[in-house]
Amino acid sequence: INVAKPCVSFAHFGFDEELMETIRKAGYFEPSGIQKQAIPVALSGRDIIGLAKTGSGKTAAFLLPMIVHIMDQAELEKGDGPIGIVLAPTRELADQIYSEAKRFARAYDLRVAVVYGGASKQDQFKTLRAGVEIVVATPGRLIDMIKMKATNFRRTSFLVLDEADRVLDLGFEPQVRSICDNIRPDRQMLLFSATFQKRVERLARGALQDPIRIAIGNVGQINSDVTQIIEVLKDDSFKWNWLLDRLDGFVAQGSLLIFVSRKAGVIELTENLKTMGIQCECLHGDMLQQERDKAVHQFKLRQFPTLIATDVAARGLDIKSIRTVVNYDVARDIDSHVHRVGRTGRAGEKGTAYTLITDKDDRFAGELVRNLEEFDQPVPQELLRVAMQ
- Per partner kind, with CB cut-offs from 5 to 8 A, the member of Mg ion, ligand ADP, none near residue 336 is none
Q: Name the residue among 155, 219, 163, 166 with its Cα closest to residue 190.
A: 163
- Per partner kind, with CB cut-offs from 5 to 8 A, the member of Mg ion, ligand ADP, none near residue 32 is ligand ADP
Q: Which of 302, 347, 375, 385 is close enough to bind ligand ADP by CB under 6 A? A: 347
- Per partner kind, with CB cut-offs from 5 to 8 A, the member of Mg ion, ligand ADP, none near residue 346 is ligand ADP
DSSP state letter for 237: G
Q: Which of 36, 53, 58, 187 is close enough to bind Mg ion by CB under 5 A? A: 58
- Binding of residue 50 to Mg ion (CB under 5 A): no
> Measured from the CB atom, is 28 or 125 closer to ligand ADP?
28
The set of residues, in sequence order, having a beta carbon less than 8 Å from that of 140 and lying 6+ positions away, is 117, 175
- Binding of residue 90 to ligand ADP (CB under 6 A): no
DSSP state letter for 83: S
Residue 188 CA: distances (Å) to CA of 12, 19, 136, 207: 22, 21, 16, 10
With contacts defined by CB under 6 A, name the span among 48-56, 206-214, 278-286, 294-302 that binds ligand ADP: 48-56
Ranges within 164-193 binding ligand ADP (CB under 6 A): none
Strand ranges in 182-309 using DSSP code E only, listed in sequence order: 188-193, 212-215, 226-232, 255-259, 280-283, 306-309
With contacts defined by CB under 6 A, name the span among 30-38, 177-185, 209-217, 329-337 that binds ligand ADP: 30-38
- Binding of residue 11 to ligand ADP (CB under 6 A): no
> Measured from the CB atom, is 150 or 216 closer to ligand ADP?
216
Q: Cα separation of 27 and 38, whole Å? A: 20
Cβ atoms of 259 and 327 closer than 8 Å: yes
**Shortest Cβ distance from residue 32 to ligand ADP (Å)?**
5
- Binding of residue 316 to Mg ion (CB under 5 A): yes
Tell me which amino acid residue 86 is. Answer: V
- Binding of residue 56 to ligand ADP (CB under 6 A): yes
Q: Cα separation of 168 and 161, whole Å? A: 9
> Measured from the CB atom, is 329 or 335 closer to Mg ion?
335
Radius of gyration of the chain (CA): 21
Residues that bind ligand ADP (CB under 6 A): 28, 30-32, 35, 52, 54-60, 318, 346-347
